[in-house]
Amino acid sequence: MPSTNVTTIPTDQPDPFVTRSFLEEVVDAVPGDPRLTACLQCGTCGGSCPSGPDMEHTPRQLFAMINAGMRAEVLRSNTPWYCVSCYFCMARCPQKVQITDIMYALKRKAIEDGESRSSSAADAPKFSEAFVNFVENYGRSFELGVAARFHFVQHPGEALKMATSIGIGMMRKGRMDLTPTRIKGVKQLQTILDRARELGGTA
Amino acid sequence: MKPSNEEPYGYYPGCSLEKNALAYNESTSAVANVLGLKFEEVADWNCCGASEYLALDILPAYALISRNLALAASSSGSHSLVAPCSACFLNLSKVDHQMAEVPALASQVNEALAAGGLSYQPGSITIRHLLDVFVNDVGFDRISSLVTHPLYELRVAPYYGCLISRPDYEGVYDSPEYPTGLDHLMTALGAEVVDFPLKTHCCGGHMTQISEPVALELIRRLLQNAHEYDADVIATLCPMCQLNLDVYQEHVNHAFGTNYHIPILYFTQLIGLALGIRAKELGFGREFVSAKRALAKIGKARPAPKKKRKPSKEALPMPQATEVEYR
Ligand code: SF4
Ligand code: SF4
């Protein structure tokens, strides 16, 4: 008869079976109350979403999955990355669920957990990173730099060709800078951002 | 809140207006000159992070945005901050609104700001989009009284995009899906405003960078809708919308075998034209899809009012629409 190895949980440790649910975690990652628990699965959000047909899960499906604790599936979905932040769903949601802010929170979680790398939209965070990098270093965005950094590294094929042709057109029309602009208070800005990073929370 | 006569508007141009939307900045300042609007640029403002920073790191994203609010509130005697870019407008008003709603967030943001010697009291300034200033402060009557070169016969599709009427934290717009302020503004210039059912649909934002086919389809829908209503131009109020519809129009044509040629102009450029300002001062020529052909259509004489069609004798009586009112 095989011996079963039963270990008892020491009583001074938190019970590992009572962990914070994924739902609570998502709710906490949004400032204020995102009203996610009020979702009644009506589907208005998905039906209103411009990228709905191209999403792997509609916002409604995603919210049901969050409720079911399907952490990895949710964080690997392309849905948050295909959200273009148009607020159509939020304007129409009968329960005033703060859908767009939840999508942002899911993007952050997907990066944090490393799951965005397994998403079909794995490139998307890199665009945000390239963009933010210039903002953190100069205080201003810099289109040419972002396009160069993102497309040269990520898409050395068709997309680069298109980005290049657009870039040349933009220059010709005087609509693109060759060098980034730096604000005077860039040190002050960086101190503020560093402090914000230390504080971390989302309230 | 409308500033008193002496009080200038605080002005936050945002990164786009410095370069890719230069035409928006040029036309705004030319028009402001004629109307006597005073805009005072916030000194040393920084980027609002667009829709990128929020995807990476929340508190730094809010701190980045609030540095602008703090600078705007501490400089000048102005109590309003005007943003011509819809994305900047949304970010500024979102942070202001959420700081007021969630005190814990406000105190964290202020702790970060304090590291740079700044602070911001939520609600201390009113965040406004440039369109709102024209519609609600200047007003249609005043604008139409200053029109010297009416835009008769120019068919304009008024395009609002997403972020000014949604989520509308300040409660300014008449509808999140079918606002009418820009329509009436264009009518006040003498233009012929076409119905544009997709007027608040999304231009795709940064989607051109994430998934080009998805983005091109969103842009195609808008162009097709404007085309169906026989619009000569699309009037826009956001640099991102302008960029996507203008710069990518050729790529849409290529991808879908279409042949759209619809110039995408800032509403301030059209106001400028109607006020008799020279096209060059309004940034014309920077658009990828040339506006020349469309502008040549502008009529000299007021078009005769359209005759109402008489219903046939057999038809059942139809409910009559009441006259459309301004705002
Ligand atoms: S519209 Fe609102 S209530 Fe309906 S499914 Fe979407 S989030 Fe839930
Ligand atoms: S905000 Fe995002 S999820 Fe909501 S409708 Fe727009 S794209 Fe879809």
CATH number of domain containing B149:
3.40.50.11810
Say if residue B58 is in the same domain as residue B185: no
Say if residue B147 is in the same domain as residue B45: no
Last residue of a domain, one of A78, A100, A121: A121
B113 has pLDDT over 80: yes
Report which of residues B176 and B319 the model is more confident about.
B176
Q: Among A175, A135, A177, which Cα is nearest to B50's?
A: A135
pLDDT at residue A16 in the model: 56
Question: Residue A178 — pLDDT band, cuts 50, 70, 90?
Answer: confident
Tokens found for residue B63 = 């701190």
Contacts within 8 Å (CB) and 24+ apart, B244-247: B244/B203, B244/B204, B244/B205, B244/B208, B244/B215, B244/B219, B245/B159, B245/B203, B245/B219, B246/B287, B246/B288, B246/B289, B247/A166, B247/A169, B247/A170, B247/B288
Say if residue A84 is in the same domain as residue A144: no
User: Within a domain: residue B1?
Assistant: no
Report how far residue A52's alpha carbon sits from residue A46's, in angstroms, rounded to the nearest whole number.
Answer: 6
User: Within a domain: residue A114?
Assistant: yes
B81 has pLDDT over 90: yes
Say if residue B122 is in the same domain as residue B149: no
- Is A97's C-beta closer than 6 angstroms to any atom of ligand 2? no
Residue of B nearest to A130 (CA): B52
Say if residue A110 is in the same domain as residue A56: yes
pLDDT in tens, B196-244: 999 999 999 989 888 899 999 999 999 999 999 999 999 999 999 999 9
Atom of ligand 2 nearest to the CA of A90: 4
Average pLDDT score over chain B: 92
Q: Residue A167: give the domain boundaries.
A: 123-203
Report how far residue B212's alpha carbon sits from residue B238's, in angstroms, rounded to the nearest whole number.
Answer: 20
B287 has pLDDT over 90: yes
User: Within a domain: residue B321?
Assistant: no
Report how far residue B66's alpha carbon sits from residue B95's, in angstroms, rounded to the nearest whole number.
Answer: 7
pLDDT at residue A139 in the model: 93
User: Within a domain: residue B323?
Assistant: no
Residue from the list A139, A150, A177 with its beta carbon closest to the beta carbon of B47: A139
A9 has pLDDT over 90: no
Q: For atom 3 of ligand 2, which residue has the closest CA? A: A83
Say if residue B116 is in the same domain as residue B214: no
Burial string for A114-142 (b: 16+ CB within 10 Å, else e) reads: ebbeebebbbbbbbbbbbbebbbebbbbb
pLDDT at residue A164 in the model: 81
pLDDT at residue A152 in the model: 66
Report how far residue A159's alpha carbon sits from residue A12's, in angstroms, rounded to the nearest whole number.
Answer: 57
A39 has pLDDT over 90: yes
Question: Residue B314 — pLDDT band, cuts 50, 70, 90?
Answer: confident
Domain with B124 in it: what CATH number? 1.20.1050.140
pLDDT at residue A134 in the model: 87
Lowest-confidence range among B19-28, B161-170, B239-248, B296-305? B296-305
Average confidence (pLDDT) over B136-142: 96
A14 has pLDDT over 60: no
Say if residue A137 is in the same domain as residue A90: no
User: Within a domain: residue B279?
Assistant: yes
Edge to edge, what strands does the sheet with B39-41 contain?
A: B39-41, B9-11, B80-83, B126-129
pLDDT at residue B174 in the model: 84
Last residue of a domain, one of A73, A90, A121: A121
Say if residue B177 is in the same domain as residue B279: yes
Average confidence (pLDDT) over A118-147: 87
User: Within a domain: residue B115?
Assistant: yes
Say if residue B176 is in the same domain as residue B281: yes
pTM of the model: 0.90
Question: Residue B5 — pLDDT band, cuts 50, 70, 90?
Answer: low
Atom of ligand 1 nearest to the CA of A36: 7
**Sequence-distant (≥ 6) Cβ neighbours of residue B162 within 8 angstroms:** A85, A86, A87, A88, B86, B200, B201, B202, B203, B205
pLDDT in tens, A57-87: 999 999 999 999 999 999 999 999 999 999 9
Last residue of a domain, one of B130, B159, B175: B130
**ipTM for the complex?**
0.88
* B117–chain A nearest CA distance, Å: 8
A202 has pLDDT over 70: no
Q: Where are the beta strands (DSSP E) in chain B?
A: 9-11, 39-41, 80-83, 126-129, 155-158, 192-193, 233-236, 264-266
Report how far residue A85's alpha carbon sits from residue A110's, in angstroms, rounded to the nearest whole number.
Answer: 17
User: Within a domain: residue B40?
Assistant: yes
- Is A58's C-beta closer than 6 angstroms to any atom of ligand 1? no
Say if residue B108 is in the same domain as residue B213: no
B149 has pLDDT over 80: yes
Report how far residue B109's alpha carbon sits from residue A161's, in angstroms, rounded to the nearest whole number.
Answer: 41
B162 has pLDDT over 80: yes
Average confidence (pLDDT) over B146-152: 97
A88 has pLDDT over 70: yes
Average confidence (pLDDT) over A165-182: 85
Say if residue A30 is in the same domain as residue A66: yes
Share of chain B above pLDDT 90, in %: 79
* A117–chain B nearest CA distance, Å: 14
Say if residue A100 is in the same domain as residue A45: yes
> Residue B257 in 3-state DSSP?
coil
Tokens found for residue B73 = 């509130």
User: Within a domain: residue B301?
Assistant: no
Structurally, chain B folds into a number of domains equal to: 2
Say if residue A144 is in the same domain as residue A58: no
Q: Residue B169: give the domain boundaries.
A: 140-295
* A120–chain B nearest CA distance, Å: 11
pLDDT at residue B241 in the model: 96
Cα separations in angstroms, A3 against A6, A9, A10:
9, 19, 21
Question: Residue A11 — pLDDT band, cuts 50, 70, 90?
Answer: low
Chain B CB contacts of A112 under 8 Å are: none
Look at A50 and B204 and tell me if their CB atoms are within 8 Å.
yes
Average pLDDT score over chain A: 87
The best mutation among A63, A66, A92, A98 to test binding of ligand 1, ranked by most ligand atoms within 8 Å of the C-beta, falls on A63
Say if residue B151 is in the same domain as residue B23: no
Structurally, chain A folds into a number of domains equal to: 2
Atom of ligand 1 nearest to the CA of A40: 3
pLDDT at residue B104 in the model: 94
